[in-house]
Chains A and B, each alone.
Chain A
Amino acid sequence: MPLTKCETLAIRAEADVVLVRQAVRKLAIEQGFGLVEQTKIVTAASEIARNTLDYGGGGEAVLECHTDGIRKGLRLVFSDQGPGIKDIGQAMRDGFTTGGGLGHGLGGAKRLVEEFDIVSAPGSGTRVTLVRWK
């Protein structure tokens, strides 16, 4: 899966979540994503970027453009050094939240992408990877 482009954005404040959305939109357009595909990956990125800020206390987003033969895709990695997640299964379930949200963030973001991965443990931060192909 050759990497064709990569950028790293810090997520330290609410305005950074907006910047992540805009950067993901720009890359999705460059990769030739259709409007619905763009909207899905941007929305998923917005959910996870907010989690990185609100629950992880900030972190970073690595946005990568990939080409696999004729397929083009985006791989987004969000990582923080926050408290981590104790029960990932519970956190993924719709309607579960420890914050003020609706509890649709993680599970919803997973439905909006083709590949989803989450690595987390109490005390060692959280890393969420989203991949969507055109």
Chain B
Amino acid sequence: MERIPILKMGDFLIVTIQVDMHDRLALALQDDLTTKISATNAKGVLIDISSLEIVDSFIGRMLSNISGMARILDAQTVLTGMQPAVAITLVELGLSLPGIRTALNVERGMSLLRASLAESDDATSEDDVDASHEM
């Protein structure tokens, strides 16, 4: 069966959706990504949709699901490159993708993921310091 490739780069997974997805392909991507986050201990997922010409309610739900599942598996998701016409249509359709972080392009998306990883590393080391004070 046709599959959308998932690339690993350091702590992050990168997906670019470049085909007009039918529903089963979208569901397969959702499953593959969740499995891969857990298998690779990825801390972030970047999904680039700059070549997607539409996002309807099904694909919107798939993107929300991926973001939610990734969060539970301790990974951040950022969606990049949405075309303006797609954004206008999505909001009119009634979907505003709550809880999904977005960036205008892959470059900004990567810096967003790196920043959030650095932040969570800081938080962890501060916790360690607090713990040592209490001892």
Which positions in A face B, CB cutoff 8 Å? 14-15, 17-18, 21-22, 25, 35-36, 38-40, 42-43, 46-47, 50, 94, 101-102, 104-105, 107-109, 111-112
B93 interface residue per 8 A CB criterion = yes
Of A15, A42, A102, A112, the residue contacting B60 (CB under 8 A) is A102
In contact, A111 and B93 (Cβ under 8 angstroms) = yes
B20 interface residue per 8 A CB criterion = yes
Of B24, B83, B86, B92, the residue contacting A112 (CB under 8 A) is B92
B31 interface residue per 8 A CB criterion = no
In contact, B89 and A21 (Cβ under 8 angstroms) = no
Q: Other than the known A43-B93, A109-B93, what 19 A-B pairs have Cβ atoms closer than 8 Å?
A: A15-B22, A21-B20, A38-B85, A39-B53, A39-B85, A40-B88, A42-B54, A43-B54, A43-B89, A46-B58, A47-B57, A101-B58, A102-B60, A102-B61, A104-B60, A104-B95, A108-B57, A111-B92, A112-B89
Q: How many residues of B contact A (CB 8 A)?
A: 23
Which 7 interchain pairs have the tightest Cβ spacing? A108-B93, A39-B85, A14-B22, A46-B56, A104-B94, A104-B57, A36-B85
Docked Cα-Cα span, A94 to B95, in Å, equals: 10
Which positions in B face A, CB cutoff 8 Å? 20-24, 53-58, 60-61, 83-86, 88-89, 92-95
Docked Cα-Cα span, A35 to B83, in Å, equals: 10
Give the total number of A-B pairs whose CB atoms are below 8 A apart: 72
Docked Cα-Cα span, A27 to B84, in Å, equals: 21
